[in-house]
Amino acid sequence: MLIIGEKINSSRKNIKEKVENKDTEFIQELARKQVEGGAQMLDLNIGTIRKNEPERMQWLVRTVQEVVDVPLCIDSPNYEAIKAGLEIYNWDKGKVLINSVTAEREKLKLILPLVKKYQCPVVALTMSEDGIPQGSQERFKVADKLIKKLTNEGIPAQDIYIDPLTLPVSTNIQNANIVLETLKRVKDSYPKVKTIIGLSNISYGLPERRLLNQSFVVLARASGLDAVILDSTDKDLMALIKATDLLLGKDEFCAHYLQAFREGRL
């Protein structure tokens, strides 16, 4: 499973301040810690910063790539910020993951040319002009539309990451089940298409959030999850993922589990 570090996200108050103040040392140390914890990619999300977002995204991409060799997930609702980040990205470190596109016509029109130009994978959110659908069947319909649109435009199925949009269980006790059911529907219908979630959203507003995050990632992996944006510095969470992959038969000869044990990561 692709592990994407979540911490460089301006929705976190201290991160917003650090990016606005261009605190290079803080951001670079945060990037290092996430990679040391097991992140194979880092999410850079400054969507809550409205002023000079393209310029700030370029600063962030350069700053992070100075100290880590993993590829990046460039994450913003602002097309100009994504475009700016792609323009100065160091492609020697691997392909960018563009986060994100939706079924909204204008969003597709803007992001699709970037995906084609840079030939990189893209996160597709189950959201349309009508917003986020309530149930898993409705979200799958949006996913189905997006997959067909993207593949018809020449995007390989394996480069599409469907995000069923994880919402807090504190606002609807069925939100976890909706995501799990959507994951299963996508993988059953499109085995080559990837799936992804932002893990921490599930526990928002509740105590002992790490417990809920840890439980949910196991359920999601068993439901067909391929990639997850999470806190890779949470050792218990990362150990649970290794154990889950082994038990699901996704770790040939128990190699990754045994390596993690030898490295003291369990």
Q: pLDDT, tens digit, for every residue of 38-87?
A: 999 999 998 888 789 999 999 999 999 999 999 999 999 999 999 999 99
Mean pLDDT of 82-95: 97
Q: pLDDT tens, 213-245?
A: 999 999 999 999 999 999 999 999 999 999 999
**What pLDDT is recorded for position 72?**
98
pLDDT mean across residues, the chain: 96
The pLDDT, as a whole number, for residue 7 is 97
Query: How many C-beta atoms surround the C-beta of residue 9 within 10 A?
Result: 20
* Predicted pLDDT at 48: 84
Under the banding of pLDDT at 50, 70 and 90, the label for residue 20 is: very high
Positive or negative, the CA dihedral 130, 133, 138, 139 is positive
The span from the CA of 164 to the CA of 66, in Å, is: 33
Q: What is the pLDDT of residues 125-166, one digit of tens each?
A: 999 999 999 999 999 999 999 999 999 999 999 999 999 999
pLDDT at 47: 83
Return the pLDDT at 13. Answer: 79
Q: Give the percent of the chain with pLDDT over 90.
A: 95
Give CA–CA dist 260/148, Å, rounded.
39
pLDDT in tens, 95-130: 999 999 999 999 999 999 999 999 999 999 999 999
For helices 53-65 and 13-20, give the axis angle rounded to 10 degrees: 90
Task: Give the pLDDT band (50/70/90) at residue 179.
Answer: very high
Q: Is the pLDDT of residue 169 over 90?
A: yes
pLDDT the model gives residue 50: 77
Check residues 47 and 198 and name the one with the higher pLDDT.
198
**Are 137 and 113 spatial neighbours (Cβ–Cβ below 8 Å)?**
no
- What percent of the chain stands above pLDDT 70? 100
Residue 178's Cβ-side half-sphere holds a number of Cα atoms within 13 Å equal to: 22
pLDDT at 92 over 90: yes
Judge whether residue 254 has pLDDT over 80: yes
pLDDT band at 23, cuts 50/70/90? very high
The residue whose two tokens read 């060799």 is: 69
Q: What is the pLDDT of residue 221?
A: 98
In 3-state terms, what secondary structure has residue 60?
helix
- Helix ranges (H only) for 101-234 are 105-118, 136-152, 175-189, 209-222
Q: Please give the pLDDT value at position 124.
A: 97
